[in-house]
A and B are shown apart, each in its own frame.
Chain A
Amino acid sequence: MLGVNRIVQGRAVPNPLGDPSLTREQEKELRRKYVLKALELLQKEVEGPTVVTLEET
């Protein structure tokens, strides 16, 4: 994992923070969730490489 310690699993390789099958509004809402998840992880103390998905709290 090349030394990355805080990882949020993205949507898909060609669109890690989006989903072309959604409406523009829905997609932005989804992207917001990913970014908020990343921000949440930035504020969290971690011991080593930590991978979370959107669903995890």
Chain B
Amino acid sequence: MAEKKLRVVHYLNQFFGQIGGEEKATTGFLVKEGPVGPGLALQKELGERGEIVATIICGDDYFAGNPEKNAEEGLKLVSNYKPDLFFAGPAFAAGRYSVACGAMCKAVGAELGIPVITGMYEEAPGLELYRKYAFICKTGNNARLMPEALRNMARLALRLVSGEKEMRLLTRENLPKPEEYNYFSRDLLRNEYCEKSIAERAVEKLIAKIKGEPFESEVIPPKFERVPPPPPVKDLSKCEIALISDGGLVPKGNPDGLARRSNLKWGAYDIESLFREYEVAHAGYFNDHVLERPDRLVPVDVMRDLEKEGKIGKLHRIFFSTSGCTTVSKRCGEMGEEMGAVMKKEGVVGAAILTST
């Protein structure tokens, strides 16, 4: 029985979508039936397995104006075609275009749950932003390398939609190795069967290392992402400042159940009432000094003084608390984003001081 032909949608910018150059970069979304520009070569690579039913095109400037909102608009157009696969670009080293490709892939992947594939050069701005949400194939830094990039993207896509599950994968998930399919790691873990025990593998790798022979580590250290520094506070006397801490100071009874070790939760508490009755949920340091005087961790006394003196605008009423003891850095980043979202929503906090044990 012949396999069902996959429905494919492709995203391109105004240039590759053959609308025009920079002068057309403000063009909004438009849809063309069938493949366009690089889509023709992509269609050849897909062969009988898939059919590019539509190409979604949008100008780089238009998209870059508000990537998240525009990705939602693009997603609606993509959804109309009920695709099984979604491609964007490749964008090579392009700035606005790589962000657009990444944002489109993220929106489509999250909403439709289909494989989303794009291609970028290692320095493209869209890479770090969207690496975790899409399969981003490695490309060179210019469009002359288009045929090779499309071949790679099609190969990975067909592998992703193939029913083939690798026998050596414990969980049978369909997650090809980044190095085998030439894409940027999404930081996803796969459980794999191995012939040798972990002790044997560790010793073999150690010996290889000592001999100066090549070996491949099975433990990838977390990559700490660089965050652009926020601009300085212009006028502290008008600024409302929030206090945050990862030292585990919580209301008596620990109402949100922050774990003393490997904690994944955070809480937001009224500072005044917290300082009347509190405890510490943190197994990573000697708590007595903080229990005796919580200002040693969360400097409320001094902040109140500075508030009275007019040196700062205001101390934010709510204290944001978590317990950072062997907590994975990924979750720390998420908690920070969650706290930041709450502060942004309230719209009064101009700066935050986080104290850490």
Contacts and interface: CB of A to CB of B under 8 A. Distances in A.
Report whether chain A binds chain B. yes
Nearest to B228: A5
B226 A3 contact: yes
B299 interface: yes
A16 B230 contact: no
Contacts of A3: 224-227, 333
Contacts of A31: 295-296, 299, 301-302
B189 interface: no
Contacts of A54: none
Interface residues of A, number: 31
B299 A34 contact: yes
- Do most interface residues of chain A lie in helix, strand or loop, or is the interface mixed? loop
B233 A42 contact: yes
Contacts of A20: 289, 292, 296
B255 interface: no
Given A39-B311, A42-B232, A16 B224 contact: no
B332 A2 contact: yes
Contact of B226 (A13, A18, A35, A48): A48
B325 to A, nearest CB: 11
Nearest to B286: A14
A18 B288 CA distance: 12
B232 to A, nearest CB: 5
B229 A16 contact: no
Chain B, interface size category, equals 35 or more
B76 interface: no
Most B Cβ at <10 Å: residue of A10, A16, A43 = A16
A37 B293 CA distance: 21
B356 interface: yes
Contacts of B293: 18, 27
Interface in B285-308: 285-290, 292-293, 295-299, 301-303, 305-306
A56 interface: no
Contacts of A16: 247, 296-297, 355-357
A49 to B, nearest CB: 8
Contact of A35 (B286, B287, B296, B306): B306
Contacts of B236: 39, 42-43
A32 B311 CA distance: 12
B297 A15 contact: yes
Contacts of B292: 20
A17 B296 contact: yes
Interface in A11-57: 13-18, 20, 27-28, 31-32, 34-36, 38-39, 42-48, 50
Interface of B: 224-227, 229-234, 236, 247, 285-290, 292-293, 295-299, 301-303, 305-306, 311-312, 329, 332-333, 351, 353-357
Q: Which 3 interchain pairs have the tightest Cβ spacing?
A: A18-B296, A3-B227, A5-B229
Given A36-B306, A39-B236, 14 more contacts: A2-B332, A3-B224, A3-B333, A4-B354, A14-B286, A17-B295, A18-B296, A28-B301, A31-B299, A31-B302, A34-B299, A35-B353, A42-B353, A43-B234
